[in-house]
Structure 1
Amino acid sequence: MRIYTKTGDKGKTQIIGQKVVSKDDVRVNAYGSVDELNSWIGYTASQLNQKTAVLKPELEEIQQLLFDAGTDLATPEKANEKSFAFDNEATQWLEKKIDHYTEVVPPVKKFILPGGSQTASALHVARTITRRTERTIVTLQGQAAINQAVLVFINRLSDYFFAAARYANTLEGKADVLYRNSRSVFH
């Protein structure tokens, strides 16, 4: 089996439901951004060390969930003969993780600089890729119906990466670096 189809040689791609669209179509950008994020998470998981290895199962679960989210984003409403793959349970799972990590790290009332340990830095990059992905999904939402559970999950996922980055720093004994000009913003 060949992995290339040559259909993209003229800047077109086929989405779920057999519709052919331009490769720069907002729908393609949305699920492509999810794919980029998924790849970054895979890279991040591959860089975990003994202290941060506890994060690996949940990063792999997020990758699985992102495949479902990408499938839903790649599916135009009329092509969706069954319900979407993605639901709100994934967001609830993330919220539990966020709440736990927030409880076990030192409280923070000011903005922090992205960074710290290698793992935390990679998680902060994941956070920013997630935010860009969210903006692309919002653009798609303005043009076509989407599964709203995907947008909510992606929004919460950026919060997860912030909390997980702080947790990784805590696991590795690294202090967060506060933005020196920040006023108190977190209550």
Structure 2
Amino acid sequence: MGHRLSKIYTRTGDAGTTGLGDGKRVSKDSLRIHALGEVDETNAIVGLLLCEDLPEDVRTLLTDVQHDLFDLGGEVCIPGMSMITDRQVTHLENELDRFNEPLEPLKDFILPGGTRAAALAHHARTVCRRAERSLVALALEEAVNDGPRQYLNRLSDLLFVLGRVLNRAGGRGDVLWQKRKNA
């Protein structure tokens, strides 16, 4: 592969448009660009989570997720492209089951906190949910494959479970919500 980004600024977006992967120019406030930005932000917050001291299996999984999110962004960037497969969605489901199995069943809602790593996993979950909502909105207007939406849905669930796992790994339990605590 040759040098693809030899010059970072192009000035082609100065008028408020940006190029898709297929060469088409669209407004920077289009639903497709919003969805692409939300996926990019999800990837960035996962990268921030990876800066923490994590169990090696969590680190490996999240690194793989970053590559998948880049593929997912590519799929959003190129209308009609298909890059996210059933295999990738199933992999997240299997990892979700594996990480969730040793955890105590939830009896109450939990607050997004505890250790810094767990809080970042919860933050990543909320950003991922926003990316999913953006894809749903885009799909109401344009053709979008099911794979990216399914992947983000499973990923947000996985990030919730990883928040619990990371609290446990950090010697903390779940931070439980106390209904009407301050009433």
Q: Percent same amino acid among aligned pairs?
A: 37
Task: State yes or no: 1:123 paired with 2:128.
Answer: no
Using the alignment, how far apart are the partners of 1:2 and 1:159 within structure 2? 38
Task: State yes or no: 1:113 paired with 2:111.
Answer: yes
Task: State yes or no: 1:57 paired with 2:55.
Answer: no
Q: Secondary structure at the match of 1:110?
A: coil
CA deviation after TM superposition for structure 1 residue 133, in Å: 0.6
Partner residue in 2 for 1:22: 27
Partner residue in 1 for 2:3: none
The 5-angstrom pairing of residues 1-187 of structure 1 reads: 1-49=6-54, 52-77=55-80, 80=81, 84-181=82-179
CA deviation after TM superposition for structure 1 residue 156, in Å: 0.8
Unaligned runs of 5+ in 2: 1-5
Asked whether the 8 Å contact 1:104–1:167 carries over to 2, the reply is no
Q: Deviations over 1:44-97 (max 9, x none)?
A: 101225xx34311111100000011111111123xx4xxx11111111111111
Aligned AA (2:72) = A
Aligned AA (1:140) = L
Give TM-score scaled by structure 1 length.
0.89
Aligned AA (2:23) = Q
Aligned AA (1:8) = G
Q: Considering only aligned residues, what root-mean-square deviation do their CA atoms show, in Å?
A: 1.3
Q: Deviations over 1:78-134 (max 9, x none)?
A: xx4xxx111111111111111112111222121100111111000000000001111
> Which range moved further: 59-68 or 88-97?
88-97
The ranges of structure 1 where at least 4 consecutive aligned residues each deviate by more than 2 angstroms after the TM superposition are none
Aligned AA (1:61) = D
Aligned AA (1:136) = S
Q: Secondary structure at the match of 1:8?
A: coil
Using the alignment, how far apart are the partners of 1:53 and 1:100 within structure 2? 15
Using the alignment, how far apart are the partners of 1:17 and 1:97 within structure 2? 33
Using the alignment, how far apart are the partners of 2:157 and 2:165 within structure 1? 12
CA deviation after TM superposition for structure 1 residue 137, in Å: 0.5
Using the alignment, how far apart are the partners of 1:29 and 1:110 within structure 2? 34
